[in-house]
Amino acid sequence: MALLIAMSWAIDGVSADQPNSTAHAAALTARVALPDGTTQMLTIDGFGCSVALCSKVFIRAKGSSSPAERIWIDTIAEIKDIADDSALFVMKDGTARRLSFVSDFRVLYFRGPNNSAKKLDLAKMRSLQMVAASK
Protein backbone atom coordinates (compact mmCIF):
# COMPACT_ATOMS: atom_id res chain seq x y z
CA MET A 1 0.00 0.00 0.00
CA ALA A 2 2.81 2.40 0.91
CA LEU A 3 4.43 1.68 -2.47
CA LEU A 4 1.18 2.56 -4.24
CA ILE A 5 0.93 5.86 -2.34
CA ALA A 6 4.59 6.68 -3.08
CA MET A 7 4.05 5.94 -6.79
CA SER A 8 0.97 8.16 -6.76
CA TRP A 9 2.98 11.02 -5.25
CA ALA A 10 5.75 10.52 -7.83
CA ILE A 11 3.25 10.65 -10.68
CA ASP A 12 1.64 13.79 -9.25
CA GLY A 13 5.10 15.35 -8.88
CA VAL A 14 5.94 14.67 -12.52
CA SER A 15 2.63 16.00 -13.80
CA ALA A 16 2.94 19.10 -11.60
CA ASP A 17 6.18 19.96 -13.43
CA GLN A 18 4.47 19.84 -16.83
CA PRO A 19 2.69 22.97 -18.04
CA ASN A 20 -1.07 22.55 -18.19
CA SER A 21 -1.91 22.57 -21.88
CA THR A 22 -5.61 23.04 -21.14
CA ALA A 23 -4.77 26.53 -19.85
CA HIS A 24 -3.80 27.57 -23.38
CA ALA A 25 -6.29 28.67 -26.02
CA ALA A 26 -7.03 26.58 -29.08
CA ALA A 27 -8.88 27.38 -32.32
CA LEU A 28 -7.33 30.84 -32.74
CA THR A 29 -7.99 33.06 -35.74
CA ALA A 30 -5.10 34.08 -37.98
CA ARG A 31 -4.39 35.91 -41.22
CA VAL A 32 -2.08 33.99 -43.53
CA ALA A 33 -0.20 35.69 -46.35
CA LEU A 34 0.63 33.33 -49.21
CA PRO A 35 3.58 33.65 -51.62
CA ASP A 36 1.31 34.95 -54.42
CA GLY A 37 0.38 37.95 -52.22
CA THR A 38 -3.13 36.80 -51.33
CA THR A 39 -4.24 36.62 -47.72
CA GLN A 40 -6.70 34.32 -46.05
CA MET A 41 -8.41 34.40 -42.66
CA LEU A 42 -8.55 31.00 -41.02
CA THR A 43 -9.13 29.20 -37.75
CA ILE A 44 -6.07 27.31 -36.53
CA ASP A 45 -6.73 23.70 -35.53
CA GLY A 46 -3.08 23.12 -34.57
CA PHE A 47 0.30 22.01 -35.89
CA GLY A 48 1.71 18.67 -36.95
CA CYS A 49 3.42 16.82 -39.76
CA SER A 50 2.06 16.10 -43.24
CA VAL A 51 0.29 12.99 -41.94
CA ALA A 52 -1.27 14.04 -38.63
CA LEU A 53 -2.12 16.90 -36.30
CA CYS A 54 0.24 16.73 -33.30
CA SER A 55 -0.93 19.58 -31.05
CA LYS A 56 -3.81 22.02 -30.88
CA VAL A 57 -2.09 24.38 -28.42
CA PHE A 58 1.65 24.44 -29.17
CA ILE A 59 4.25 24.19 -31.91
CA ARG A 60 7.70 22.72 -31.38
CA ALA A 61 10.61 24.76 -32.74
CA LYS A 62 14.35 24.82 -32.18
CA GLY A 63 16.71 27.72 -31.52
CA SER A 64 20.21 27.76 -33.02
CA SER A 65 21.85 26.52 -29.83
CA SER A 66 18.94 25.01 -27.93
CA PRO A 67 16.91 21.81 -28.05
CA ALA A 68 13.38 21.81 -29.45
CA GLU A 69 10.94 23.61 -27.21
CA ARG A 70 7.19 24.14 -26.95
CA ILE A 71 5.95 27.49 -28.20
CA TRP A 72 2.38 28.01 -27.03
CA ILE A 73 0.26 29.15 -29.98
CA ASP A 74 -1.66 31.68 -27.90
CA THR A 75 1.61 33.48 -27.05
CA ILE A 76 2.53 34.06 -30.71
CA ALA A 77 1.73 37.40 -32.34
CA GLU A 78 3.20 36.59 -35.75
CA ILE A 79 5.34 34.11 -37.64
CA LYS A 80 7.11 35.92 -40.47
CA ASP A 81 10.27 36.03 -42.59
CA ILE A 82 9.59 32.37 -43.33
CA ALA A 83 12.30 30.33 -45.06
CA ASP A 84 12.39 26.65 -46.00
CA ASP A 85 13.58 25.56 -42.57
CA SER A 86 12.96 28.46 -40.16
CA ALA A 87 10.98 31.59 -39.38
CA LEU A 88 11.01 34.67 -37.17
CA PHE A 89 8.60 34.08 -34.27
CA VAL A 90 7.32 37.35 -32.82
CA MET A 91 5.70 36.87 -29.44
CA LYS A 92 2.89 38.89 -27.86
CA ASP A 93 5.34 40.17 -25.24
CA GLY A 94 7.34 41.86 -28.04
CA THR A 95 10.29 39.44 -28.13
CA ALA A 96 11.34 37.88 -31.42
CA ARG A 97 13.52 34.87 -32.20
CA ARG A 98 14.46 33.01 -35.34
CA LEU A 99 13.56 29.36 -34.79
CA SER A 100 14.00 26.28 -36.94
CA PHE A 101 11.01 24.12 -37.79
CA VAL A 102 10.83 20.67 -36.23
CA SER A 103 9.65 18.17 -38.85
CA ASP A 104 6.67 16.95 -36.80
CA PHE A 105 5.41 20.52 -36.34
CA ARG A 106 5.94 22.26 -39.68
CA VAL A 107 2.41 21.85 -41.04
CA LEU A 108 -0.43 24.18 -40.05
CA TYR A 109 -3.83 22.51 -39.72
CA PHE A 110 -6.76 24.89 -40.11
CA ARG A 111 -10.39 25.40 -41.03
CA GLY A 112 -11.05 27.22 -44.26
CA PRO A 113 -13.93 29.59 -45.04
CA ASN A 114 -16.41 26.72 -45.56
CA ASN A 115 -15.20 25.01 -42.33
CA SER A 116 -13.40 22.28 -44.27
CA ALA A 117 -10.24 20.80 -42.73
CA LYS A 118 -7.08 21.88 -44.55
CA LYS A 119 -3.33 21.89 -44.02
CA LEU A 120 -0.42 23.97 -45.27
CA ASP A 121 3.34 23.61 -44.83
CA LEU A 122 4.72 26.64 -42.98
CA ALA A 123 7.42 27.07 -45.64
CA LYS A 124 4.69 27.67 -48.22
CA MET A 125 3.44 30.89 -46.62
CA ARG A 126 4.89 34.37 -46.27
CA SER A 127 3.52 35.07 -42.79
CA LEU A 128 0.96 34.07 -40.20
CA GLN A 129 -0.45 36.83 -38.03
CA MET A 130 -2.71 36.13 -35.07
CA VAL A 131 -5.89 38.17 -35.01
CA ALA A 132 -7.19 39.40 -31.67
CA ALA A 133 -10.56 37.95 -30.75
CA SER A 134 -13.38 40.49 -30.76
CA LYS A 135 -15.06 41.03 -27.42
User: Whose CA is closest to 109, among 58, 74, 70?
Assistant: 58
- Tens-place pLDDT, residues 84-103: 999 999 999 999 999 999 98
Q: Cα 62 vs. chain centroid, distance in angstroms?
A: 12
Residue/partner pairs of 14-21 with CB below 8 Å, 24 or more apart? 19/70, 19/72, 21/55, 21/57, 21/58
pLDDT score of 115: 84
Residue pair 19/75 in contact by the 8 Å Cβ criterion: no
C-alpha Rg value of the chain to the nearest Å: 17
User: Could you tell me the pTM of the whole model?
Assistant: 0.78
User: Whose CA is closest to 44, among 108, 91, 88?
Assistant: 108
- Tens-place pLDDT, residues 44-72: 999 999 999 999 999 999 988 889 999 99
- Tens-place pLDDT, residues 10-27: 333 333 334 455 566 666
C-alpha dihedral (121, 125, 129, 133), degrees to nearest 10: -60
